[in-house]
Structure 1
Amino acid sequence: MQILRANGTVLKINKAWEEFWEQSSVADISKYNINSDKKAQALGMTSAFKQALAGITASLRNMKYTLDADTAGTGGVRFLNVRMLPLVKEGEAVEGVVCILEDNSKNRFVELEKEKHQNQLKEEITRRTKQFESLLQFSTEILTINDPTEVFEFVISWAQSLFGLDYSSLLLLEKNGKLVLKDVIGFSRSLIDTFELQTGEGLAGLVAQTQQVAVTENFATETRFTIPDVIGENGITSALAAPMLNKDGLTGVLIGHTKSKRIFAQSERLLYQSIANQAAVAVDNAISQQSLKRSEKRFRHLFESANDAIYLIDLKNDRIVDCNRKALELGGYSREELAGMDKYALYPSGEHAVLDERYKKILLKESLPAVSSHSYIHKDGSHIPVEISTSLVETGGQKLMMNIVRDVSRRKALEEEREETSLRLRRASRMEAIGLMAGGVAHDLNNILSGIISYPELMMLKFPSDSPVQEDLKKVIASGQRAAGVVADLLTVARGAATVKEIACLNELIKSYLVSPEFCKLASLYPQVNFLPSLTPGIATILCSSGHVQKMLMNLVTNAAEAVEGKGEVKVSTSSYVVSEKESSLDLLPGKYTVLEVSDTGTGISRYDLEHIFDPFYTTKKMGRSGTGLGLAVVWNTVQDHDGLVRVKSDDRGTSFVIYLPISPETHTCKMTPGKSSLEELHGKGNLLVVDDEKSQRDIAVKILSVLGYKASAVSSGEEAIAFIKKKQPDLLLLDMLMDPGLNGRQTFERIIRLYPDQKAIVVSGYSDSEDINKLMEMGVLGLLKKPYTMEKMGLVVKEALQ
């Protein structure tokens, strides 16, 4: 404590003051005046003294004062608490000031140390906050980058800026275990994708091996690993490296270098490790995204280039969200029309339940057939046979149902064509068997029928026209002709039987049939059926066996009339058609065709019956009463013999038979079929030789020829015929084709024309191969007379041959 006079000089000090200031009470204080003490003025003590003189107590806290001598080891610094109290006698003015000094240095030094620690803590918090904010910003921004290359660039740029690095690099761990440089700052960019490190090589290799952050303060003293040449080449001193870790382990290494020596604090290492880990996640995500984009791009390419229609269906609303190019082609819809369409809209309502069941099993992952067959509705309303394969896919993060729809119409057509071919082969096989049977009996049957038909004709000439015997004989002839018709049908079914083809007009053949007794009888049996001819004028002629074509027409019209129940129509029409190369098939070659169509308004043919209608002896009628079961078999074989095609269309509205016949190679004027000739018109003159191994056939032929005015002779073999001709050459030779034993008809004629090239001949046959007949025609035979024959037929053929 110190007492100051009003003038500022010291009146008195106590012992404690003396010890603190190291002042004597006599020598030092006599010269001191607070008003002139510059330190006191600077510290505010002078002002406090004056305030106390004014009667106001003044206080100064933690006044920092530096002593001349440092006895406490604090540099002479003291922290003092000072109070200036006015010294007043009772009732008088202030006489002086009492200055009380308290040394607060110890407490103050404790307070200052505390303040220093608090400031350091604040600075650390501020620094950590900034680091956290930087890491947060880094994490936020890096998650927006999906390209791996951009992630590499972002990471090394951020690390360089945040840590003040001269070089910043990122290396990824490849499948072969090597670290490959992916991006750099500071180093030559030529090192990218070429600079590699083995695990344990260099600081990055050490970090990859230990999977812990590591530093090198000075590469010059580093002994833990081999140092890559690039370090020395760039004058690098220090480095900081951290493993890029994620949930699956090591992805790569993030490493930074400085040219000057750098000591990296622990907090920097931790932050660097956090950035490296964030980079690992970002790199993996970016690579995954890139892989996903590539996968989606490949998917899109496959999706669009697929040969099948593909539809993607949203599982939430069961609507189509996307489709490929083939889907647009398949249905004729635009992409806009298909988008948002219900998943069932492309299929008939009757198939929705089956499809729904299939979709449910797909969602429940139950087993089901790989594909299912359905009908697809085209935009024009037509139905296309398809096969559907269904699966679940995920694209663009969206789960979808994928329908792969394959158009199998071509395959179905091929299957149907194969089935039809197989059916034709089976039918041909049956036809061949029947043909062998028919050919075996036809010759003998026709020889027998010749007597049944011809002898009654000869007998009718002996009775008056009004004789009751005439009618009986006509009935015998009619029965024989019906039997001959059955044999003729068998021979037609047999195919290969002798036929002579001539150029004819289909329209005229139809007209001839429509005025024939057979048609008139048919029309009378079905009065409620309206027969409608619709013949296209000027159609091309055909090369055909007129009798077979008319028989085919008669069978078709008869079947059509019988198919109509009650009132209805049977339409017979002709037209022309050209088959292009594109339309052609094994059944129908390119070219021009004359088309015959016979249609009815009946009840149609069942699917089962439709497969068998051309089979011989197959009939839905009563065998022996309404038909023999050969009618349509004759149609089919006739068409085949004429290199044509028959197509059948049938439903509950009726049936249509469409027959394509090739036009003749030459154009001819259509001629009407001649009418019935009288006996007088058939008469002629000449010497004729009949050659037949059957005596009954020789007798019949000679008698008919004699009635017709000819002089006829007969021999029983080819050898006898040659011997006869050498003696006397006839005007016309009537030659049987099948003779046994010895020479047949063809062999006989071949030998005769060698001797007599101008010899005229006609062939008479109950059954002969078409090939033999054709060869004879080429050799000069003038006609074919089929057994059993009538007097009229023989007369016409003989007269035409002689003329």
Structure 2
Amino acid sequence: MLKVKKPKNLQALILHLSTNFINIAPDEVDEAIYNALGIIGKFTNSDRSYVFQMNNATNSITNTHEWCAAGIEPQIDNLKNVQLIQRPWLNKKLHNKKPFVIDDVTKLSKDAVKEKADFMDQDIKSLVVVPMVSNKKVIGLVGFDAVKKPRKWKNEEVELLKIVSDIFANALIRRSMQKKIYESEEQYRLLVENLNDGIVISQNEKIIYHNRQFAEMLGYEYEELVNADYRRIYTKEGLAILEERGRRREKGEDVPSRYETIFKKKNGEHLHVEANVRIIDYHNMPATFGIISDITERKNKERYQRKLEVELLKHQKVSSAGLLAGGIVHNIRNTLTVIIGRAQLLKQKFPDLKEPNIIISSANKILQIADAFTKKAQKEQIEKEIDFNLNDLLKTEIVYFEANQYVKNRVDIHLDINPSIPKIHGHYIDFSHAISGIIEFSVNAMEKSTQRKLQVQTDWDEKNILLKITHTGKQLPEKDMSSVFTPFHSFNIFAGKRIIGKEHLSTMQLFNAYILLERYRVKFQIETDSENQTVFTLMIPVSG
């Protein structure tokens, strides 16, 4: 039998509830929920507190747990298999996945006729409900009722219910999974692999509470994280995400309670996690309460899927370019040869006429572009790794870009190369697509700039070939500077999405560059120089 004492304040209540549900046995979950409902019901002076669980197959909810104050009639036996299809207002509220507060049931809108009748049949005057959500699906709800008289619910009571909803949802899902271990060894294996949720509370940059699962997932002994600096467990990218959330919160923006970040394990490895956090008041000071789930395997799968998508896109482009180079370009060359020949005859016949020289010069420029295109297509079709010169690749890409009249007439391109750089060993197509993507991103960034200057530089030292691409266009947001060339930043935008907003399409080119060149251990940097120009730096290891 679980022993329960009524906490003295909200902070003690939250710690008490979260502690009671850590490592709780499956056969103790119901009792723990009943006890918790009694504690929070008394703490908030509610007349009734309860849990409903969802049956998605029948789109219905059932009252599974209930606490009632003295003199309040229980309703649990009357609320089985409540059909949501007959209660569209309630159904919509639940699937919005947000709390809803009703201070006076009699003032419900006309579209809640059925729900209003249900509430009044139960003598409910006021209520507050928070959906229980797991893996983005509604699995039930937790609520408070006022039966004796209407009342207004305090914000801290709603926040308490949110935290309780998360705790109950985790406990119920965990119990559901734990029960399945008796059915097969495979289900037991899945349970062990997936039940790695940690609980942590931090305040004043210190971890003031954590459970053993949290320490274990990070590779620490429990005692090593007691009162530890919370920044110790964050990567550079994770800290940047945390700071950005803090800035948004200070501005009064709506910051999602669930978000993905990257922790650093004791051995230095990165750990992708989903954090479900709430800001609570602890000893009259704000603190962060978090439930942490390891999502590394899911992120690796998403990353692999994105790699396959990039590879498919790359080969589709190569196939199209090969067909174009083999057909259309050939016809263009033949036609231009005829034009140049006729212009030369015209020049011989009329030596003072200027037009033949203009025709010959223009035709030769088109031939130069066609040759560059053919050279690019031919090299991109080579399936094996080869040695190639980065400077030659850049010259080809610049000619290719200058074939676009917008780029040629409105963008001032400077190529500053070191002719002594060593050759690169790899797939030509990986480097051509990655670099052209960054150049195209830079050109697009200068669309609305008064000054459009693109500078491409190469150099090298003993360890790396250095490629710098500088543009005078729109700068990336400061928060993206350190993470734009990382899988974490990009997956939040692109993974699993079929439709991508226009504002993110250009950023995808940077992500693709990272995906294409990470196999060659290329390091990426992005910064703003003293003239407020954006500088992309690629450090390409010298082949040994």
Relative to total residues, which structure has the larger helix share, 1 or 2? 2
- Does the pair score TM above 0.5? no
Range into which the TM-score falls when normalised by the shorter chain: 0.3 to 0.5
Higher Cα Rg, which structure = 1
With the length of structure 2 as denominator, give the TM-score of the two structures: 0.35
